[in-house]
């Protein structure tokens, strides 16, 4: 008995089509139904009115857009951009030297140093944020330390600084990894050549190392900026009620105020900002 497939050979073209269908269709259908359709719903919600008890009333309106450019909400978007930008900048200032030194380590230590960077990233996100509540609280470790030295306690928790610290703590590994990948690829002979030709270490860094690692800088910055900008958990847990970011507004509109159309408008604004950033990053990377 021969297997059926051998008895009745399928033409290669038909087999390819069948293969493409069997392999691609399940995953793509899943993504269309559970990602693309939901996204399209969010985008189309923007044009409708809110229902009295949540949900939607399918009547066209542009009210959600006019509310979006209200200075109150634009201010929140601006604050979110600022907090995410500060976080990204500090991550870059800490991450670059760290990645640079990791790249100089002997291979065995390199692996250990890299695993040590990612390890905290794989632990529970909420627990990582919680750890900072313990540290920053009025009776927390940092303030207890200050008291030992006879200093007045500082208000650390529920400040913008606490939010930036929490975001930095959560996403710093995402900065270090692409930077490391970019720096590790560099040919050390380039730096030697630059030094041999009389350039100071600073000039070598400015003219050789930094320009060649720009793609890494851009990727890392994007990896930190994107999750920071859209965050709502960290501003809520570490920022208290004071520090509101776009994410908090979206969360409130959806789960508390039950104004889905306006929540969707805010989410659309979030996506638009991120898409613009992605385009800017791709352009900058091509130029580098």
Residue whose CB is less far from other proteins, 47 or 254: 254
Q: How far is the CB of 201 from other proteins (least distance, A)?
A: 5
Task: Say whether 151 sits in a helix, a strand or coil.
Answer: coil
Nearest distance from C-beta of residue 106 to other proteins, angstroms? 15
Q: Is 5 in the site for other proteins (CB under 8 A)?
A: yes
Report the site for other proteins in 235-264 (rule: CB under 8 A).
237, 247, 250-251, 254-255, 260, 263-264
Name which of 71 and 108 has its Cβ closer to other proteins: 108
Helices (H), 4-60: 4-7, 12-31, 37-45
Sequence-ordered list of residues with C-beta below 8 angstroms from that of 51, at least 6 positions apart, any chain: 57
Phi, psi of 52 (to 5 degrees): -70, -30
Stretch of 66-74, 208-216, 269-277, 279-287 contacting other proteins, by CB under 8 A: 269-277
Is 93 a residue that touches other proteins (CB under 8 A)? Answer: yes
Residue 109 binds to other proteins (criterion: CB under 8 A): no
| Separation between Cα atoms, residue 182 and residue 191, nearest integer Å | 15
Nearer to other proteins, 141 or 151 (CB): 141
- The answer to whether residue 210 forms part of the interface with other proteins (CB under 8 A) is no
Strands (E), the chain: 49-50, 56-57
Q: Please list every residue from 21 through 40 that binds other proteins, using CB under 8 A.
A: 22-24, 26-28, 30-31, 34-35, 37-39
User: Does the protein bind other proteins through residue 132 (CB under 8 A)?
Assistant: yes
Q: Which is nearer to other proteins, 237 or 244 (CB)?
A: 237
129 contact partners, CB below 8 Å, separation of at least 6: 166, 169, 170, 233, 234, 237, 238
Least distance from C-beta 264 to other proteins, angstroms? 7
Q: How far is the CB of 155 from other proteins (least distance, A)?
A: 15
Answer for which of 57, 69, 74, 116 binds other proteins (CB under 8 A) is: 116
- HSE-up (13 A, CA, CB side) for residue 175: 26
Closest approach of other proteins to the CB of residue 105, in Å: 10
**Short-list 216, 234, 151, 209, CA closest to 179:** 216
The Cα-based distances of 143 to 146, 152, 153, 236, 272 in angstroms read: 5, 8, 5, 21, 41
């Amino acid at each position: 008995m021969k297997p059926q497939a051998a008895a009745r050979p399928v033409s290669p073209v038909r087999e390819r089509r069948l293969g493409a269908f069997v392999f691609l269709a399940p995953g793509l259908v899943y993504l269309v139904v559970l990602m693309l359709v939901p996204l399209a719903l969010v985008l189309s919600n923007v044009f409708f009115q809110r229902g009295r008890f949540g949900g939607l009333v399918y009547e066209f309106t542009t009210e959600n857009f006019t509310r979006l450019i209200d200075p109150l909400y634009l201010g929140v978007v601006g604050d979110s951009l600022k907090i995410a930008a500060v976080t990204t900048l500090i991550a870059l200032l800490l991450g670059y030297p760290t990645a640079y030194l990791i790249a100089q380590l002997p291979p065995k230590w390199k692996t250990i140093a890299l695993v040590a960077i990612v390890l905290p990233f794989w632990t529970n996100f909420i627990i990582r944020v919680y750890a900072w509540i313990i540290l920053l609280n009025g009776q927390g470790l940092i303030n207890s330390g200050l008291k030992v030295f006879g200093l007045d306690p500082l208000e650390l928790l529920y400040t913008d600084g606490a939010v930036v610290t929490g975001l930095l703590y959560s996403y710093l590994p995402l900065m270090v990894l692409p930077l490391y990948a970019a720096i590790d690829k560099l040919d050390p002979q380039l730096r030697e050549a630059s030094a041999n030709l009389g350039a100071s270490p600073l000039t070598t860094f400015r003219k050789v190392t930094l320009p060649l690692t720009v793609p890494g800088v851009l990727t890392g910055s994007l990896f930190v900026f994107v999750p920071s900008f859209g965050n709502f958990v960290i501003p809520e847990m570490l920022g208290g009620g004071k520090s509101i970011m776009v994410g908090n507004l979206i969360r409130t509109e959806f789960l508390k105020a039950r104004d889905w159309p306006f929540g969707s408008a805010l989410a659309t604004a979030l996506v638009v900002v991120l898409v613009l950033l992605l385009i800017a990053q791709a352009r900058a990377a091509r130029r580098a």
